[in-house]
A and B are shown apart, each in its own frame.
Chain A
């Protein structure tokens, strides 16, 4: 520590000495200096105006490097202000640039000026800045150097940018070199630069590729398209284009590429270079092809419900899309234990889509038979080495055989052979397995669909039958009622004639008997009418939906029904208007009210209709103070022909009609009753 301080002190001492020495020299040249100073004063004055108006830093220093003038920009740049402190430029020179600075200074003295001197300086805050200085000497009238002036420009950020540009260039080069895309820079479509990936793709070195026209590398098929685009690019219509073309490698093989060409233009817009990005899409294309095949198959399966229909699609689509020489689909015949060829593509099929020389392969025999037995797909690269191979129309060296499995049972085989060895790839195998799965799903679906259709048609049939029986029942009711009613009328007429013809002979007793007979006839007639009405409640053909004022209905009923005087029939004035068929509504109320009338046994009868509005329904109630109905009969009374009336006045149809009507309008009916006190029927009708 002490030593350091010591050495610093020493340095300070040295500097002091140097300065004293300088001052000494200065003193020696006092007169000179005075003159110079005066001259300088005059000279610098000229710059004052100039000083204020330039944005760049401007300084004037004496021959010793002491700054004697600086503008605001310079103050801002250096952080020093000579109005407050002395500034000697020597002190702020960046250490590493010191020598360069001194040399430049010497050059300045020698040549009178320097331009574009670039060096680093320390600002007052010890920041390092890059500056560019253009400097010249100032002479007095006698031609003596009195000072130097300089415009100092801060180029720090420009320098930094220059560095990052360099970095970027390196990064870019790294990207270009490591890119998996082939990158080619061409001028007038001739290669001037290529990257590693492209060289690798083409199996040629950078040197080999240099100068070769791009067109020479690709197959002719896309040249026309390429030229068309290029012309458009030259014309300035487009700036880039892409096309799929095949390139020829050094060894003669080809690869499929997606090429994207972009124009690099000069400031006038003329094409300077063409930048081409070349992507090998051979594999991608293969995958796409496989995907397409699957898609095509899926599409072609739609609506095909049998394995026979599907088989033709498999054979055609797979073979065609994947460029197979042939494809044969077999179906397993379980009874005969053989595989039958049901569809094919290629040599096995004639013009009429008939299989030529159809063969049957026993399960277990040959590769196909074997796969049918094991349920495991096989990929055979060389059939000549496989003992199982059965020659069909001719020997082919590679074979792919995939089973179609439904519910763990092999139902068919997809088989393709190729003259070349190792023609089929694992991708092909995967694809055919997918196809087999697809077929399995489709056929399972087809079976399910068939079942659904069958079930649906059964349902439909059932519904039709039901409709028919309903109609038959309805018609039956009409015919029967007519046939039953006619004899009743005849009997009535015959009895009347008998009574007329034997008027004198018949006594009161006989006439009474005839009256009873006629009463029975009337009962029977009413019963038949009831059945008829009941059977036609459902008849939607005659249903009219209209606005029905319930109050009006009740008023009408009052005129139709005979309401004895001792019965008080009442209903509220504000009864609603409902939407229904008026006849049905009338039937509904009429039946309930006439029931009430019939069963009132009190001296003062009371029938009351009430209603309530619910959210989705209208709720009506009809209560009487009649005999009441035992709980045991509450359900029974709604059933047809069920009557509690022993006198034979009732047919047992009325309430079943009521129930049917209520149900027709999406409602329900029930009752509350106390024997001896009365009954209230409640029913709801959907609004």
Chain B
């Protein structure tokens, strides 16, 4: 099975840990790039040394928040094709609408239970594994 690379943009340490632990627990060996906020993520992406296949990002982050990051991402001629999936606690209708308007590939609400979270992550990753993704 081919390995994917994920860019996980999240300011909360535990969330990052949660994601990594989930991936590990699920037996996935996909590459995980990390960024603490939108700004950092853009820096990584703009270097174009290693572009991820899928971006997972939180909305509420310090400095550049999720929506601002999305806007910048979608303005870039190349980066705009990387599927970006929101992973957030906010089920705010407005946020969701805005995200989809900007062109996201998915919107996932973080469940309270850790087990539920793992299940959701599994499905997301599985989904992208059956997808043909663009390799830059």
A478 interfacial contact with B, CB 8 Å: yes
CA distance A541 to B93 in the complex (A): 10
**Is B90's CB under 8 angstroms from A489's CB?**
no
Residues from chain B with a CB closer than 8 A to the CB of A490 are 12, 14-15, 18
CA distance A84 to B94 in the complex (A): 123
B47 interfacial contact with A, CB 8 Å: no
Cβ-defined partner of A482 (8 Å) among B21, B60, B113:
B60
B1 interfacial contact with A, CB 8 Å: no
A492 interfacial contact with B, CB 8 Å: yes
For B113, the closest partner residue in chain A by CB is A492
Taking the closest CB of chain B, its distance from the CB of A531, in whole angstroms, is: 13
A493 interfacial contact with B, CB 8 Å: yes
As a 0/1 sequence over residues 489 to 500 of chain A, the CB contacts with chain B under 8 angstroms (1 = contact) are 110111111000
Residue tally, chain A, CB below 8 Å to B = 25
As a 0/1 sequence over residues 470 to 496 of chain A, the CB contacts with chain B under 8 angstroms (1 = contact) are 000000001101110110111011111
Taking the closest CB of chain A, its distance from the CB of B55, in whole angstroms, is: 20
**Is B112's CB under 8 angstroms from A486's CB?**
no
**Is B89's CB under 8 angstroms from A496's CB?**
no
For B21, the closest partner residue in chain A by CB is A497
Interface residues of B in 1-40 (CB under 8 A from A): 12, 14-15, 17-18, 21
Residues from chain B with a CB closer than 8 A to the CB of A541 are 94
Residues from chain B with a CB closer than 8 A to the CB of A532 are 91-92
**Is A486's CB under 8 angstroms from B89's CB?**
yes
**Is B112's CB under 8 angstroms from A489's CB?**
yes
Residues from chain A with a CB closer than 8 A to the CB of B92 are 478, 532
**Is B12's CB under 8 angstroms from A485's CB?**
no
B115 interfacial contact with A, CB 8 Å: yes
**Is A489's CB under 8 angstroms from B110's CB?**
yes
**Is A494's CB under 8 angstroms from B14's CB?**
yes
For A518, the closest partner residue in chain B by CB is B113
Known: A479-B60, A482-B89, A489-B89. Is A496-B12 also a contact (CB below 8 A)? no
CA distance A547 to B18 in the complex (A): 44
**Is A493's CB under 8 angstroms from B89's CB?**
no
Residues from chain A with a CB closer than 8 A to the CB of B90 are 478, 481-482
**Is B112's CB under 8 angstroms from A522's CB?**
yes
For A525, the closest partner residue in chain B by CB is B112
**Is A486's CB under 8 angstroms from B114's CB?**
no
**Is B89's CB under 8 angstroms from A485's CB?**
yes
CA distance A539 to B93 in the complex (A): 10
Cβ-defined partner of A492 (8 Å) among B88, B91, B114:
B114
B107 interfacial contact with A, CB 8 Å: no
Cβ-defined partner of B117 (8 Å) among A486, A489, A536:
A489
A521 interfacial contact with B, CB 8 Å: yes
**Is A521's CB under 8 angstroms from B112's CB?**
yes
Interface residues of B in 67-99 (CB under 8 A from A): 88-94
Residues from chain B with a CB closer than 8 A to the CB of A478 are 90, 92
Interface majority SS on A: helix, strand, loop or mixed? helix
For B14, the closest partner residue in chain A by CB is A490
A158 interfacial contact with B, CB 8 Å: no
Residues from chain B with a CB closer than 8 A to the CB of A497 are 21, 114
As a 0/1 sequence over residues 93 to 128 of chain B, the CB contacts with chain A under 8 angstroms (1 = contact) are 110000000000000001111110100000000000
A96 interfacial contact with B, CB 8 Å: no
A542 interfacial contact with B, CB 8 Å: yes
Cβ-defined partner of A493 (8 Å) among B14, B60, B88:
B14
Residues from chain A with a CB closer than 8 A to the CB of B60 are 479, 482-483, 486
For B91, the closest partner residue in chain A by CB is A532
CA distance A602 to B111 in the complex (A): 35
CA distance A283 to B17 in the complex (A): 102
Interface residues of A in 521-540 (CB under 8 A from B): 521-522, 525, 532, 536, 539
For A488, the closest partner residue in chain B by CB is B112
Which of A478, A482, A522, A541 gathers most chain B CB within 10 Å?
A482
CA distance A481 to B60 in the complex (A): 11
Residues from chain A with a CB closer than 8 A to the CB of B21 are 497
**Is B18's CB under 8 angstroms from A493's CB?**
yes
CA distance A525 to B111 in the complex (A): 10
Interface residues of A in 434-454 (CB under 8 A from B): none
CA distance A486 to B88 in the complex (A): 9
Taking the closest CB of chain B, its distance from the CB of A577, in whole angstroms, is: 25
Taking the closest CB of chain A, its distance from the CB of B102, in whole angstroms, is: 18
CA distance A542 to B93 in the complex (A): 8
For A477, the closest partner residue in chain B by CB is B92
Known: A489-B112, A492-B114, A522-B112. Is A536-B93 also a contact (CB below 8 A)? yes
Taking the closest CB of chain A, its distance from the CB of B59, in whole angstroms, is: 8
Taking the closest CB of chain B, its distance from the CB of A485, in whole angstroms, is: 4
CA distance A518 to B113 in the complex (A): 8
Known: A482-B60, A482-B89, A485-B89. Is A493-B12 also a contact (CB below 8 A)? no
A-B contact pairs, 27 of them (CB 8 A): A478-B90, A479-B60, A481-B90, A482-B89, A482-B90, A483-B60, A485-B110, A485-B112, A486-B15, A486-B89, A488-B112, A489-B15, A489-B89, A489-B111, A490-B12, A490-B15, A492-B113, A493-B18, A493-B114, A493-B117, A495-B114, A497-B114, A525-B112, A532-B91, A541-B94, A542-B93, A542-B94
Instruction: Please report A residues at the B interface, Cβ cutoff 8 Å.
Output: 478-479, 481-483, 485-486, 488-490, 492-497, 518, 521-522, 525, 532, 536, 539, 541-542
Beyond A496-B115, A541-B94, 15 extra complex contacts between A and B, CB < 8 Å = A478-B90, A479-B60, A482-B60, A482-B88, A482-B90, A489-B15, A489-B89, A489-B112, A490-B12, A490-B14, A490-B18, A493-B114, A497-B21, A532-B92, A542-B94
